[in-house]
């Protein structure tokens, strides 16, 4: 889209008081780049030379596109700041794909662990792909990881039982893969499981304001997950541990976001059993506690989140236990909507009626299909 056509679409302010309000805010620096954004602006030329374009906001000498106009800055793409200092979105020039670029310290284990896992070709590998690793042009202790642009796994929210089952299939499979290769993630949480959601948004979405179009002129709505190839990935290996084959998997110290009972700064604990608990806790928080019709997950969650780590299953045992549960589930359950625990009774009656009607349509189509 050209800048001219984008300009025509921007809402025009007519209230002089509002126009002056935004003009004053702009003059006073309300929309200026933050300190964390200046880091990326300083690297804009370097990234451009490497084939990655940052958004116009990060161009050297950037001036707000709405300055001295009556355009509403809320509808100007270059008014949108970064949410996270470590990661910025960019466009790969070679194929116009949106990527994520993350700054990481070369002193931590994140870079070698992420590169090691990404180097393994295995359909069970659900760790984030590393497209390229760039040395930072200014700080020799930093690296810039170029990765696919991913979206939070629960945005948009899960809609059907089948969505949940697919998520659990992939996250257990990915955990088995990591543990087979002697890597404990140690920070499994909903924030660290993301998805390639391109199939849900065929026309794209803004990389920061996820519910808006690329030019932030309109809202975007996702397609259903069902029947689409949604792939989930573990990210962020800043707390991870990689062990030599056959060596002890006992560690000490804290982990990331997850609460795990046995964490200690002095008493060693099994890093793999921490992953088991954290993933079971994720299933509990995201599914069992949110929805009324995910009770089939309870035995799995109970097993994974036992207080005593020695009673928890291994990743392979979790996989086998889940396979056993999965075989008991009727195919029609996959299409059934998730029922929120906080859904008002009247809404539930209406939504269940609609769901039953759609299931009837599905069965009829299957019956009459040649």
- pLDDT tens, the chain, 370 aa long: 333 333 346 788 888 899 899 989 999 999 999 999 999 999 999 999 999 999 999 999 999 999 999 999 999 999 999 998 899 999 999 999 999 999 999 999 999 999 999 999 999 999 999 999 999 999 999 999 999 999 999 999 999 999 999 999 999 999 999 999 999 999 999 999 999 999 999 999 999 999 999 999 999 999 999 989 999 999 999 999 999 999 999 999 877 777 899 988 889 999 999 999 999 999 999 999 999 999 999 999 999 999 999 999 999 999 999 999 999 999 889 989 999 998 777 656 555 655 554 445 444 454 555 5
Report whether 144 contacts 50 (CB < 8 A).
no
Q: Model confidence over 61-118: pLDDT tens digits? A: 999 999 999 999 999 999 999 998 899 999 999 999 999 999 999 999 999 999 999 9
Provide the residue count of the chain. 370
Interstrand relation of 193-196 and 250-253 (parallel, antiparallel or unpaired): unpaired
pLDDT at 355: 55
For residue 173, the model assigns a pLDDT of 98
Q: What is the pLDDT of residue 265?
A: 84
pLDDT (0 to 100) of residue 368: 54
- List the beta bridge partners of residue 219: 212
pLDDT of residue 257: 76
d(CA 150, CA 40): 19
Question: Would you state the pLDDT for residue 7?
Answer: 38
Look at residue 2 in the predicted model and tell me its pLDDT. 35
In sequence order, the 6+-apart residues with CB closer than 8 A to the CB of 226 are 159, 160, 162, 163, 334, 335
Confidence at residue 5, expressed as pLDDT on a 0 to 100 scale:
36
């Amino acid at each position: 889209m050209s800048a001219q056509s984008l300009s025509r679409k921007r809402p025009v302010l007519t209230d002089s008081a509002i126009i002056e309000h935004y003009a004053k805010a702009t003059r006073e620096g309300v929309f200026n780049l933050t300190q964390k954004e200046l880091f990326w602006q300083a690297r804009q030329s370097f990234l451009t030379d490497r084939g990655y374009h940052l958004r116009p906001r990060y161009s050297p000498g950037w001036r707000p596109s709405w300055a001295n106009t009556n355009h509403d800055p809320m509808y100007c793409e270059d008014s949108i700041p970064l949410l996270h200092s470590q990661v910025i979105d960019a466009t790969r020039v070679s194929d116009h794909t949106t990527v994520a670029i993350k700054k990481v310290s070369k002193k931590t284990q994140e870079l070698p662990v992420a590169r090691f896992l990404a180097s393994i070709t295995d359909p069970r590998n659900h760790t984030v792909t590393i497209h390229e690793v760039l040395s930072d042009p200014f700080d020799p202790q930093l690296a810039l990881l170029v990765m696919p642009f991913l979206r939070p796994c629960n945005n948009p929210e899960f809609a059907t039982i089948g969505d949940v089952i697919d998520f659990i299939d992939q996250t257990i499979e990915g955990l088995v893969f990591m543990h087979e290769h002697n890597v404990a993630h140690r920070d499994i949480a909903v924030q660290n499981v993301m998805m390639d959601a391109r199939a849900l948004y065929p026309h794209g979405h803004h990389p920061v304001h996820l519910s808006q179009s690329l030019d932030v002129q309109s809202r975007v709505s996702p397609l259903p997950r069902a029947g689409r190839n949604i792939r989930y990935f573990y990210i962020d290996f800043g707390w991870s541990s990689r062990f030599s084959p056959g060596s002890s998997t006992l560690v000490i110290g804290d982990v990331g976001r997850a609460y795990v009972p046995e964490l200690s700064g002095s008493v060693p604990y099994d890093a793999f059993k921490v992953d088991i608990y954290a993933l079971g806790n994720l299933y509990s928080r995201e599914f069992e506690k949110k929805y009324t019709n995910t009770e089939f997950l309870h035995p799995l969650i109970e097993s994974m989140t036992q207080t005593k780590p020695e009673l928890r299953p291994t990743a392979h045992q979790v996989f086998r236990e889940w396979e056993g549960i999965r075989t008991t589930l009727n195919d029609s359950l996959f299409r059934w909507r998730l029922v929120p625990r906080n859904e008002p009774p009247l809404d539930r009656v209406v939504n269940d009626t609609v769901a039953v009607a759609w299931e009837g349509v599905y069965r009829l189509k299957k019956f009459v299909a040649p």
